[in-house]
Structure 1
Amino acid sequence: MDKVLSFHQGQLPLLISIPHAGLKLTPAVADGLVDQARSLPDTDWHIPRLYDFAQALGASVLTAEYSRFVIDLNRPEDDKPLYAGATTGLYPDTLFEGEPLFKEGLAPSPAERKHYLEQVWHPYHRAIRHELARLRETFGYVLLWDAHSIRSHIPRLFDGKLPDFNLGTFNDASCDPSLAQRLTHVCQQAQGYDHVLNGRFKGGHITRHYGNPAAHVHAVQLELAQSTYMQEREPFTYREDLARPTQAVLKQLLEALLAWGQARYRN
């Protein structure tokens, strides 16, 4: 397979993971998709652009190139469900709305999916492990921010409208509770936005698996409502008028994350 990820190495103890913004498809996936899936509607659209300030901030940034329709990088290798109720798996077979993802009989074969696991999933997670190890060795601690977005209305997955900022810390298991409190305070001060901590989205596999406060690895997932920065339906247009103030809040969140780490590990 060709390039499966993009990586920028930063100078601060912060890694931003962007696992669901990829747009590449394998031939088997592309040939099998139903018509309504060809626009890749369940993509975390424009997240690299929304976080384009992060490199200047000093963060390391890891971005997937392949679509979650090929393989979901935020699901465990054994495909064990992360949430009760409706969800999607390691190899998605439905759209978020519940419709089949592939035409009948045209889903990728088990052998093809094993190849995706080896050539897409494993490289992404090796990159996470290596960068977390490097940063922890350099700084004594590391902060992991898993960046996501989703349409604000998906009845199959959640009731009503999703809050704008959905912070997930796996019920305080993936990071120190005081860090979650600091981030929640930033959201409380952000006028015109609402937020929740450990609501419908508590953190996926990346947050749950790598977050380990006892080992000084603090992981947080942000599931951002796409209504805060883009047109949620086709053609999924990035809206600078919405994105600019949302970026300001994102930058405040990452700065608060870094400030918490510096204060906590000052000595």
Structure 2
Amino acid sequence: MKEKILVFCGSDLASRASLILACFLWALSFIASKAALESTPPLTVVTLRLIVSAFCFLAWATYAKKNIYEMIRKGGVKLFLLSLSGTVLHYGTQTIGIAYTTASNASLYAVTAPISIALISLIFFKEKLSTGKITGIIIAFCGVITVMGFGVLKNFAINSIIGDSLVFLSIVMWGVFTVFGKETSEKMGGAVNMTAAVTITGAIAMIPFGAGEVIRAGFSFSNIAINAWISILFLGITCSFAATFLYFKALESMNSNEAGIYLYSIPPMTSIIAYFYSNEQITISFIAGAMLVLVGVFITEKT
């Protein structure tokens, strides 16, 4: 009994706290992306965001005395493919999609991530889904629907098809990155090493796309508003660096299905943020839905 308490209060609890914080930062990212897109083209936002996060990882590597070049070389082709799915394609399709849809619609797509992760894990790594885990996923999904409300779901179904489809694709890309990133991180000496190498590689790969957009549109960086710069810095430092760092650090001590279920908390968190940001009222449906999400997470972890 004493050993179980120590595990819960030690690295186990730290992993769960890291996942909750990462999801909170990602919930904020939808609003920050919208703010950045008001004055900046989408691929330019992604490029600047990744450059900022790449410098954060370089600073961490310097502090931790890590050889980034050696890590990238060691990762090889698989690392490059991970950088495409986890940075270029994930952030690229998501940001373009957010430009054509609402932040609420985009956050709703987060509920598909655990499903994508579970299916990819099942197909490629034979990670079994118990009846309890399936039940937990369904309960959490129902909780998100309750939080968002049927009015949002109706708009989600009939409006902004292009934007919604692109955001959905970005979540699938994140599922691929999550599952295959866990395996690669073990070969590279840890999730943080892998995440740093992927982000830096992705930033370099994204520069030609961002530069091409700037040249093609005749865009000037002087047109980027102050609030857009703040949003881009926030996205790069907290979402692409800190949240990803925390997420994959937690993956070192749990499987991808357990970590993925926490993504269900993003829409409820977005609702809380909207309450403080735009004075939206927290309704009974929000409270009921949030409780269902928590129950779903608990069942999935314990089975």
Structure-2-length-normalised TM-score: 0.27
**Higher share in strand:** 1
**Higher share in helix:** 2
Structure-1-length-normalised TM-score: 0.30
User: Using CA pairs below 8 Å that are at least 6 residues apart, which structure has the higher relative contact order?
Assistant: 2
Computing the radius of gyration from Cα coordinates, the structure with the larger value is 2
